[in-house]
A and B are shown apart, each in its own frame.
Chain A
């Protein structure tokens, strides 16, 4: 880790629409190992929020326990954060979202946090289509307890100590698609160009947006034989598409080969423009996505990019028909039925 973070910022740093520089979106100094993939993801979140001119205090960051769950301290310092308990981030995020539907919820988790202790909550938050961005910083090991295999470690992957993982891996992206997640993307911490637009699109998705980001653990899982090392991942990633997140309705870009470009309109009028690299895959067709993932797996490829998006399904607030005013803004007059109603209620029990 670094010990100092320079406070000096160039006076002419670019400002976004709100008049903030990137500094307003940064957090405290990271205490993760130098070169940790997680720090790159934090940086991507900072860049995405800055570029989108998100009000920093209109974001809430919620995490579980583990190295990944520490990261919310290292980005968006002007946002409230909640480092909760191991594997339980989804429930805390669900409650928080129910309280105030007008904020952006960033859930940060790891492979131990989501694929093992928190699997139940991960599955059920998908089922409810909670309007949130759920990032798993996936390194295939338990970094904070010194490198034990996690449930996403690939079968046959070799640990730093030399042991070979005998168990099958849980593929979180496939699982999310199977469960009906309405936005599923996969990326690599080392590919900021892909990651930033994915985060932007995820924030605009009204529903559950899942990002499974392979994020190598430089200390415990970056050795030869590991399938979550920088080298291995770089050699095996296969992008589904190149992607642009288009904040406002633009003219159609024509500099890509016709027939390979597809656009997905988000609820708020923004667009995702995908320039497909894989031809047999349609991001709005779950079956084709599931097939593409299976095929990639047989070829030992890691399919990245936006895999699946569905803008039709209601998010949890929609399903519950909650009112437009956030529940945490309602006062006595709107919540308490009052004494006259109570008289009637009493009469009903006589």
Chain B
């Protein structure tokens, strides 16, 4: 049997609410500390206690961070899902289970290995408190895996010490549980397994963090002072992270005074209204939500677009439509967000792919929103938002100043003559604005969702309405020049075929690109970071005969936007999709691309036959 060093997938099958999350995290973090690239993913139900939950950890020496199909090792501690868990192991793989109870005969397969560890029995013998027995049973399997996979025990011990700092009893109990698992393996199995770990130095200064934390922190650094939100999976932890870091860095330790205001609103409509009120009044305000929330916010997004009020919205996408699968991932709010609300509207979107970019793009969105005086939506998703990802560390330039856009102060108002709130004075489509309270007699204006002239006076004059709508398109052109540029993977084109992707499809798309290359198929690649699309995107599309557009929704939404916005031939944009709620895999991408290319070859062949 071939050995797989630092290249395998292990899945933990748990029951939610049993404390398995921290044990599983301990396992993944220890691998990270061993300097080996690792991608943990939580697959959890929309429920608090008692339903199956899985935690999947991919270890990849090559640094592939996307999901991969096929489970090499399954750790089963949930009888509820055992039948399906046994089936999910790849031939030659391992099935670790709690042998306190005998494994039922139907669960035996000829082609996999079984590792029975009497976790519950050992835990019951060692610990008296029922809750502890439950929790430490999980640590016992981490101990067993430590031995089986050749993990660095000192890293695990250190992590336990960090997690329970100052709580000696807990540390001792955890160490005891770890040792129980290790000793059992020592006495009963040959180890390490074929799949195992070896220390590397591949992590360098990278960090392991989830995207929602990064978005929340990015908003703190970006100068957000008002946050209004309504609880919704999977975005809630953005608000939590924002609050956590604000409490830490923006609260006066002596007086308790806070340089921020966080409001849990009555619904998403109100949340967006508060964000718009705050931004209108010169504060940086934002909200975080998911698809159902964006649906409700449509009305206010239209107002902010038309009345030209800045706003930042972090959309942590989940599986729609409607309530859909609230705890599964998708990139399916793209079209909704891009054209949110009735009438002619278009919104600026940014697509982060890593926690580093969640931080960067969220903080930058406040500049973009104020420069463009329009809502900016940060389109992340459940996979990026709620799972830990290896990422470049967060970066902030100490010299960076907030760009507050075109805002007139009292002195400027004295000198400019007549102030026109919606007057484009310099051709970029972006007019000057004033904050309420600036000047006693100059610069006041009426903000409204109704049509108005250049001086903000209500009008039903069709010509004035049209001038305003046309100016908004000039602003849209300006947006194309200042939003984050797409990333090109090659300086010069090497192929007629291109692949195009964004957000969390990135890791698997990059891996698929390598796999295709190994199969002799060279493709060029581009990663979209923002909407509207810049000139580099137009060039990429025009300079390839076929472009595979990789995304995680049924309707190929980004592809539709490209067809609408770039006036390109739809036939050359081939959708590569995944929409089962699980993150897209490299294999799925590769297979769809190969299928299309083969099909294309076959068709050509038949056509030439007919011609003969």
Q: Which residues of B contact A83 (CB under 8 A)?
A: 446-450
Q: Chain A's interface: helix, strand, loop or mixed, by majority?
A: helix
Q: Is A256 an interface residue (CB 8 A)?
A: no
Rounded to whole angstroms, the CA-CA distance of A80 and B281 in the bound complex is 9
Give A293-320 as 1s and 0s: 1 = Cβ < 8 Å from B's Cβ atoms.
Answer: 0000000000000000000000011001
Tell me if A328 and B440 are in contact (CB < 8 A).
Answer: no
Q: Is B338 an interface residue (CB 8 A)?
A: no
A339: nearest residue on chain B (CB-CB)? B398
Tell me if A95 and B448 are in contact (CB < 8 A).
Answer: no
Q: Is A57 an interface residue (CB 8 A)?
A: yes
Tell me if B396 and A336 are in contact (CB < 8 A).
Answer: yes
Tell me if B281 and A60 are in contact (CB < 8 A).
Answer: yes
Q: Is A334 an interface residue (CB 8 A)?
A: yes
Rounded to whole angstroms, the CA-CA distance of A337 and B276 in the bound complex is 25
Q: Is B87 an interface residue (CB 8 A)?
A: no
B275: nearest residue on chain A (CB-CB)? A95
Q: Is A90 an interface residue (CB 8 A)?
A: yes
Q: Is B540 an interface residue (CB 8 A)?
A: no
Q: Is B423 an interface residue (CB 8 A)?
A: no
Which of B248, B263, B396 is within 8 Å of A98, CB to CB? Answer: B263
Tell me if B446 and A95 are in contact (CB < 8 A).
Answer: no
Which of A58, A80, A84, A98 is within 8 Å of B278, CB to CB? Answer: A98
Rounded to whole angstroms, the CA-CA distance of A24 and B394 in the bound complex is 51
Tell me if A345 and B217 are in contact (CB < 8 A).
Answer: yes
Query: Number of B interface residues, CB 8 Å?
Result: 72
Q: Is A94 an interface residue (CB 8 A)?
A: yes
B391: nearest residue on chain A (CB-CB)? A349
Rounded to whole angstroms, the CA-CA distance of A197 and B458 in the bound complex is 32
Q: Is A16 an interface residue (CB 8 A)?
A: no
Q: Is A4 an interface residue (CB 8 A)?
A: no
Rounded to whole angstroms, the CA-CA distance of A72 and B285 in the bound complex is 24
Instruction: Choose the segment among B6-14, B222-230, B568-576 that binds chain A (4+ C-beta atoms closer than 8 Å).
Output: B222-230
Rounded to whole angstroms, the CA-CA distance of A95 and B250 in the bound complex is 19
Give A79-121 as 1s and 0s: 1 = Cβ < 8 Å from B's Cβ atoms.
Answer: 1111111001011111111111011000000000000000011
CB A58 to nearest CB in B, in angstroms, measures 6
Q: Which residues of B contact A95 (CB under 8 A)?
A: 226, 228, 273-281, 283, 285
Q: Which residues of A contact B261 (CB under 8 A)?
A: 98, 317, 320, 322, 327
Query: Number of A interface residues, CB 8 Å?
Result: 61
A85-B300, A96-B436 in contact; A330/B258 too (CB < 8 A)? no
Q: Is B313 an interface residue (CB 8 A)?
A: no
Tell me if A88 and B250 are in contact (CB < 8 A).
Answer: no
A330: nearest residue on chain B (CB-CB)? B259
- A81-B447, A91-B269 known, 17 other contacts, Cβ within 8 Å: A80-B435, A81-B445, A82-B277, A91-B270, A92-B274, A93-B277, A94-B263, A95-B280, A99-B226, A102-B437, A103-B281, A103-B436, A321-B258, A322-B259, A327-B260, A339-B397, A346-B394
Instruction: Return 16 A-B CB contacts under 8 Å, by A number.
Output: A80-B437, A80-B446, A81-B445, A85-B273, A92-B277, A98-B285, A99-B281, A100-B283, A103-B437, A120-B267, A322-B261, A336-B221, A336-B223, A339-B398, A342-B221, A349-B207
B residues at A contact (CB < 8 Å): 205-209, 217, 220-221, 223, 225-226, 228, 245, 248-250, 252, 256-263, 265-267, 269-283, 285, 299-300, 303, 393-398, 400-402, 434-441, 444-450, 458
